[in-house]
Amino acid sequence: MSTTTANPWDAPAPEAQGRPSAFGLLPEDLEGAPGRAAHVFSRLQRPWTWREEGLCLNREAREWLAASYDTSLPVVVESHPSEDGATKVVLRLRDGERIEAVHMPREVRNPRVTLCISSQVGCAMGCTFCATGAMGIKRNLSAGEIVGQVLALIRTLGPERPHAITLVFMGMGEPLHNLDNVHRAIRILNHPGGLNISTRRITVSTSGLVPAIEKLARMEPRPWLALSLNATTDEARSRVMPVNRVWNLGRLREALDAWGLAPGEKLLLEYVLLAGENDTLEDADRLADWLGDLRHGHNINLIRMNEHPASDFRQPAEERLQAFLDRLKARGCFVTVRKSRGRDVQGACGQLLK
Ligand code: SAH
Ligand code: SF4
């Protein structure tokens, strides 16, 4: 993480200097639009109402929008279908920057889709196992760009209806480093007049920015939280995730306590297994100890390290992963192994690199 006082991630998105994106507007921002604000909002946010030639709005409303706002979406410039059904998509933003997202259909009979989306161009956090971290940070995405990313994916690859969508902020960037824009995007995506995606189907994954976790805990609507833990001692965690030097495991655990789970809500804990770094049975025991009385409100996701040229870390042997999993289960943890999707097209976790 950068230690300078000027935070590069505070740089405004370029649209702040030009016309802002219409897809970043809430109904209250559309009060002056010809016709009802709610109608214009829903035409912007419901891709199944769009026509070939664009938004299904009368000329007056279209001209009103075009005078102050940009109604173009991020452009899908590359699409890489993987053998497993997932598709990695590269999107080009207005200033030419590129971001990546992954479209992951689940079960053919009951078609549901998980969209893994980006929150920043690059990332400032510098985790040593992550390809995005190796890029450094370029800039934040605006709320309009985050929403536009979702709409562009749906328009290109489906699904037609939003009830089948799950969103995970697990693409490029640290969403809590861009909390205001990410939260505004969530308000728009969750709005009943738009896609109406339930907050139970929106997960924000963080490397552990404690003040932002505490702030998000009190925000409405509140998405589900995932924490990338990835180590069980402060020494090891600070080595692989520099953010731990600022907010350590003890502070993180307090922040999770303060989060306060709603009925039925779970905390997701992501743990990337790195051979020789965090994959011993002692690590599994320490992880279970650290969880303590969170025992009933969590799901641990073990992730195989996706190897890439920007990191020397390797994934552990399968027996080692199995032993780690068995130990956690024996300690009463709820744990699954993540099936990495899109590996063959560099679309899996931590491989998103421009
Ligand atoms: N910045 C956020 C969200 C994006 S990263 C965060 O760190 O949580 C999404 C997930 O990918 C995180 O859990 C991260 O630990 C994991 N990840 C990063 N690099 C990886 C790699 N090379 N292999 C497997 N998972 C990785
Ligand atoms: Fe950023 Fe997450 Fe990658 Fe860490 S793991 S560098 S926080 S994207």
Residues in contact with 170: Cβ distance below 8 Å, sequence separation at least 6, in sequence order: 116, 117, 203, 205, 226, 349
Q: What is the end-to-end Cα distance of the chain in Å, rounded?
A: 20
Q: Where are the domains of the chain?
A: 73-345
Is the CB of 174 inside a 6 Å radius of any atom of ligand 1?
yes
DSSP 295: G
Residues in contact with 241: Cβ distance below 8 Å, sequence separation at least 6, in sequence order: 125, 127, 128, 207, 208, 228, 230, 231
Q: What is the pLDDT of residue 168?
A: 98
What the block records as the tokens of 180 is 């205001």
Is the CB of 227 inside a 6 Å radius of any atom of ligand 1?
no
The answer to whether residue 100 is catalytic is: yes
Residues in contact with 206: Cβ distance below 8 Å, sequence separation at least 6, in sequence order: 174, 175, 176, 212, 213, 225, 226, 227, 228
Report the length, in residues, of the chain.
354
Mark the ranges of the chain whose per-residue pLDDT is less than 70: 1-17, 108-110, 295, 348-350, 352-354
Is the CB of 123 inside a 6 Å radius of any atom of ligand 2?
yes
Give the model confidence (pLDDT) of 226-242 as tens digits.
999 999 999 999 999 99
Q: What span, in angstroms and rounded, lies between the C-alpha atoms of 262 and 114?
A: 23
Among 102, 128, 129, which residue has the most ligand 1 atoms within 8 Å of its CB, making it the best to mutate? 129
Q: What span, in angstroms and rounded, lies between the C-alpha atoms of 353 and 130?
A: 9
Is the CB of 303 inside a 6 Å radius of any atom of ligand 1?
yes
Architecture of domain 73-345: Alpha-Beta Barrel (3.20)
Output the CA 214–ligand 1 centroid distance in Å.
21
Question: Hey, whose CA ends up nearest to atom 8 of ligand 2?
Answer: 173
User: C-alpha distances in angstroms, 251 versus 88, 150, 237, 246, 327?
Assistant: 35, 33, 13, 9, 25
Question: Hey, whose CA ends up nearest to atom 4 of ligand 2?
Answer: 127
The values of phi and psi at residue 297, to 5°, are -115, 30
Give the model confidence (pLDDT) of 314-330 as tens digits.
999 999 999 999 999 99
Output the CA 230–ligand 1 centroid distance in Å.
9
Do 348 and 306 touch, CB atoms closer than 8 A? Answer: yes
From 97, 100, 145, 270, the catalytic residue: 100
Q: What is the pLDDT of residue 346?
A: 74
Local structure of 305: helix, strand or coil = coil
Q: What span, in angstroms and rounded, lies between the C-alpha atoms of 353 and 66?
A: 33
Residue showing tokens 């994916």 = 153
Output the CA 211–ligand 2 centroid distance in Å.
17
Q: What span, in angstroms and rounded, lies between the C-alpha atoms of 83 and 90?
A: 18
Q: What span, in angstroms and rounded, lies between the C-alpha atoms of 212 and 181?
A: 13
Q: What is the pLDDT of residue 214?
A: 98
Output the CA 66–ligand 1 centroid distance in Å.
38
DSSP 51: B
The residue among 106, 107, 115, 123 whose CA lies nearest residue 147 is 115
The residue among 139, 118, 199, 188 whose CA lies nearest residue 166 is 199
Q: What is the pLDDT of residue 21?
A: 96
- CA-134 nearest atom, ligand 2: 6
Could you tell me the pTM of the whole model? 0.94
Q: What is the pLDDT of residue 309?
A: 94
Do 322 and 277 touch, CB atoms closer than 8 A? Answer: no
Do 34 and 58 touch, CB atoms closer than 8 A? Answer: yes
- CA-130 nearest atom, ligand 2: 3
Of the listed ligands, the closest to the CA of 337 is 1
Output the CA 329–ligand 2 centroid distance in Å.
27
Q: What span, in angstroms and rounded, lies between the C-alpha atoms of 240 and 103?
A: 28
Alpha-carbon dihedral of residues 231, 233, 237, 240, nearest 10 degrees?
A: -80
Do 227 and 270 touch, CB atoms closer than 8 A? Answer: yes
Is the CB of 124 inside a 6 Å radius of any atom of ligand 2?
no
Q: What is the pLDDT of residue 9?
A: 41
Q: What span, in angstroms and rounded, lies between the C-alpha atoms of 86 and 106?
A: 9
Q: What is the pLDDT of residue 106?
A: 85
